[in-house]
Structure 1
Amino acid sequence: MFFRNLSTRSIIGFFCLLLAIISISSITVGPMKISAFDSINSLLLNGNNVAPHIDIVIHQIRLPRTFLCMLIGAILAICGTVTQGLFRNPLAEPGIIGVSAGAMLGAGFAIVTFTNLNLVSAQVTSLIALPMFAFMGGALTTWVVYRIGTSRFGTSVSIMLLAGIAITMLAGAGINSLSFFADDQQLRDISLWSMGSLAAADWPSIGLCTITLIFLLWYFLNNAESLNALLLGEAEASHLGIPVQKLKRYLILMTAFGVGISVSISGVIGFIGLVIPHLGRMMFGPDHRRLLPISAFLGALLLTLADMLSRIVVAPAELPVGIITALMGAPFFIYLLYKQKGRMT
């Protein structure tokens, strides 16, 4: 394919330009109409000749939301890329194998418990307790699914998918139980988390996501060659001197960490980690040294476009972005299942 012949630097440069254009477009979309000229003027020219209320909307609402869209999309995309590379199957995605549901349960537990007990302030809860419990929930469900799907003969993706469905149902029961005991505000928070929303974007959340994305990219890229070796099979990777089981454990933990941070901030946004890695491999090849940064850009683009669509479909109201990504991703997942028919064990 043509894209595979391009250098990684050229591709990243193109995506940076495209992301800048999409970002300006995202700032213009919403209940208040803002022109591209006003957006650029406010961002680059210190807001000269821009009305004060427009400048406030851009810098305090639209710009943080756009940044958060790009960061969350990039985190989910690289976590999905690693998950699919780890299990050597395009159907393996953090949301489908129960990671997102576990992270959601952990976040819901933190919302209800810490608020009811008045243990810490609301800001500390959102910045520390939510990410920590979301990570713990995602890591626990990942470990359970991995243990169920793994035997001395290897890892069965089909069993992991079935285990993921069961874990998702159990997590759903736990979330419903928490909702039963929650007050009105807690119930609203849990509801928004379950549907996925980027409306509460703020700069502390952006800072946390930025640190998370940089760390995950650094860690995953350092293990990109090991992921490439795993594509040949676990036995072959072991013969090349790669500690396969140790690598799996650490990569699964890092994936749960990334998904946990994302869920704690934006709620459950599904299918980004399923669609993006598949598109990236089709367009740019399976080499993770190249696929991981490209997936980050593609994830940022897709989630930003989905968020823009969520603000347009039922304007002036707003549709949760998780619904948009589900409508985009579910047909793609059905297509992948159709392709895998007859080959799943």
Structure 2
Amino acid sequence: MSEKKIPELYHSVQKRKLLIFGVLLLLLFIAAIIACGIGTVAIPPGDVLAAFGHAVLPGLIDAPATQSAEFIITGYRLPRILLAILAGISLAVAGAVMQGLLRNPLVSPFTLGLSSAASFGAAFMIVLGPVLFGAAFAGAVTIAGITFSASTILLILSAFLFGWMSVVLVYLISRTKMTSQAIMILAGVVIGYLFQAGLLALQYISNDEALRDIVTWLMGGMWGATWPAVIVLLPIVFLCFFLVERRAWDLNALSGGDDVAKNLGINVPQFRIRGLMIVSFAASACLAFTGVIGFIGLMAPHICRMIVGNDYRYLLPCSAVMGALILLVSDTAARSIFAPVEIPVGVIMYILGGLFFLYLITRGHGRYLG
């Protein structure tokens, strides 16, 4: 190949990756419009777009013809859709970054014990919250003019803090061993088992009502979707995404090995710890609102590697959109398959995840897993 054709080929590949990213964004927008119209009350796409437009530009765009459409969309369905998108973004980006930092394609936000720790935090508050906080647990808290139940606030904070605590514990353990990838993964597995033991103990001593709440939370879902939840998560998710995206070149360098990254001037131990803390912060924040949702952090990065390659400048944004798309479609299916009965989205994700990796093993010969 001549030297003149190399730049042309490079720009052609970049344009193809940008095109794929644009197509994914378009699919996500279409999925969101369809999801807004699907439910116990079906709403045509035209009314969905009219409701969006009237909410943003009430003076220029008329309200939808169906009077209840705008209330249903803006009050109930849109917060749920946005929560699914934000959770999908955070979990997918966390999976892609963790796989790059630890150079292991099977690493996910749950490998470092984050899922088990967040589950323990939620169960801890469900079972022991009334004992620790007494009458205040059944009260209400007003923040910025918005009223929250105290039990909901405490459950979210507990799940978030314990989820992030797991990563801190992994860091403290691995710090004594030069933060090698193997030690960090092993420490995460051990921490996960410890929190899982605590979760089983809490389930054993809980009453029937608390046990039902714990099981429901462990299944994962968008039942807690509200505008305050979206407002809280929006800056967290996009700030964390910006922080890791600006280090995409460093992730590319790290894929060549620690020695290569060090020769390029990267402080590998510091970079690895900071990256893990940032994505764990975003993932645990979302899990605090949604409960446990698995496989997004594994599926989205693997699918995007097949279509855009391993360049993290494109892999991270594509994984973010892909994760949002997968979770949004799964959640829409979860609430519409047996409507008006809703099944946990975690059930859908485990089925999709199992089938996806079974396909990789049987058809792809495992080349994307090694």
User: Does the pair score TM above 0.5?
Assistant: yes
Aligned to 1:62: 77
Aligned to 2:121: 106
Aligned to 1:317: 341
What are the equivalent positions in structure 2 for 1:108-257 lying under 5 Å apart? 108-116=123-131, 117-118=133-134, 121=139, 123=148, 125=150, 129-144=154-169, 147=173, 151=177, 154-156=180-182, 160=185, 166-182=190-206, 186-257=210-281
Shift of 1:186: 4.2
Of 25, 36, 46, which residue of structure 2 is paired with 1:37?
A: 46
- Partners of 1:255 and 1:144 in 2: CA distance: 15
| Counterpart contact for 1:71–1:210, Cα < 8 Å | yes
Moved more, 320-329 or 307-316: 307-316
- Partners of 2:114 and 2:234 in 1: CA distance: 21
| Counterpart contact for 1:193–1:263, Cα < 8 Å | no
Unaligned segments of structure 2, at least 5 residues: 1-8, 54-60, 141-147
| Counterpart contact for 2:91–2:323, Cα < 8 Å | yes
- Partners of 1:3 and 1:92 in 2: CA distance: 31
Aligned to 1:276: 300
| Counterpart contact for 1:212–1:258, Cα < 8 Å | yes
User: Does the alignment pair 1:296 with 2:311?
Assistant: no
- Partners of 1:68 and 1:303 in 2: CA distance: 10
CA gap of 1:227–1:182, structure 2 versus 1, over 3 A, is same
Residues 96-147 of structure 1: CA distance to partner in whole angstroms, max 9, x if unpaired? 4422111221233234444431456553757764454334322343355564
- Partners of 1:288 and 1:37 in 2: CA distance: 37
Residues 146-181 of structure 1: CA distance to partner in whole angstroms, max 9, x if unpaired? 646995694228x93x66555444333322333344
User: Does the alignment pair 1:331 with 2:358?
Assistant: no
Name the aligned partner's letter for residue 48 of structure 1: P
| Counterpart contact for 1:149–1:163, Cα < 8 Å | no
> How many residues end up aligned between the 2 structures?
340
Name the aligned partner's letter for residue 79 of structure 1: A
Q: TM-score, structure 1 length as denominator?
A: 0.86
Residues 57-82 of structure 1: CA distance to partner in whole angstroms, max 9, x if unpaired? 22211111111111111111101110
Unaligned segments of structure 1, at least 5 residues: none
Moved more, 207-216 or 264-273: 207-216
- Partners of 2:156 and 2:239 in 1: CA distance: 15
CA gap of 1:253–1:318, structure 2 versus 1, over 3 A, is same
Aligned to 1:92: 107
| Counterpart contact for 1:82–1:251, Cα < 8 Å | yes
- Partners of 2:200 and 2:336 in 1: CA distance: 30
Aligned to 2:66: 50
Moved more, 323-332 or 127-136: 127-136
C-alpha RMSD of the superposition: 3.1
- Partners of 2:119 and 2:126 in 1: CA distance: 10
CA gap of 1:215–1:183, structure 2 versus 1, over 3 A, is farther
Give the fraction of aligned pairs with identical amino acids, expressed as a percent: 34
Moved more, 117-126 or 324-333: 117-126
Moved more, 92-101 or 301-310: 92-101
Q: TM-score, structure 2 length as denominator?
A: 0.80
Name the larger-Rg structure: 2
